[in-house]
Amino acid sequence: MQHRPETVSLLIEQRNALEDLANEASRKKAFLELLLSHQGAYTQKLRKEAAAYQLDLLLKTTVLLLKGFVPAEKQSKLLLGYPSFLIEEDSWLILVQNQEDCTTLIRQLLDGQPRALLAAGKQEANIAESYRQAKSAMGILLALKPEQQAIHYAEHEFLVKLSHANLTASAGTVVKLEDTADLLETLRSFINHNCSVSQTSEALNIHRNTLQYRLKRIESLTGKDPRNLLQLLELTYGLLALYK
């Protein structure tokens, strides 16, 4: 079968367009990897490359890390105003250089996105540092699963540092609960509701006696009583250590 000249020309144009898109995606990925591993002052070459992505490396930057995020049309338009990078199938990185934008932007990004989780680093001169903070804060969000969708590193710095502490004796306690989803959920809820039996049982939609039974089961399996403040701290550390 022979193609007409104009058809061949169109096919070549389409192939070249696809190759250009693939090359641009590859360049963007390589640039991001370089940016997230870079320490110290930025070179003039890197600053010039960053400018192509609406990024001024002389300004401080806040990194927003999103998971479970599939942008709707309004969010896709929103992302065009910021240097944004798709890093996994449903994970995005957004670089914000105007700190005043952050609160509004976070609200707009999460609007109509019930599955999305967002972690924000601090405003830093080094983007790799803000990314490290956002990634660590996301670990706290995944570990404790509080009711809110967004977390700020600046407000949870202690928990991040606790999660990275090398306390090997306590790190393995919560591993024993990994096969019992209801006990992990109970522990998280008990932590997030400030050890309140009434609030935890209401949040889990279970009877208070059922909650007490589960708390005793947690103690039996881990050797740590969640109703004891200091032992609950050890359990919290064990939970955080799973996601650091």
pLDDT in tens, 7-30: 656 666 666 555 555 567 788 899
pTM score, whole prediction: 0.83
Rounded Cα gap, residues 100 and 53, in angstroms = 20
What separation in angstroms does the CA of 137 have from each of 100, 101, 106?
Answer: 20, 20, 15
Rounded Cα gap, residues 199 and 222, in angstroms = 23
Query: How confident is the model over 120-171, as pLDDT tens digits?
Result: 999 999 999 999 999 999 999 999 999 999 999 999 999 999 988 887 666 6
DSSP reduced 3-state for 59: coil
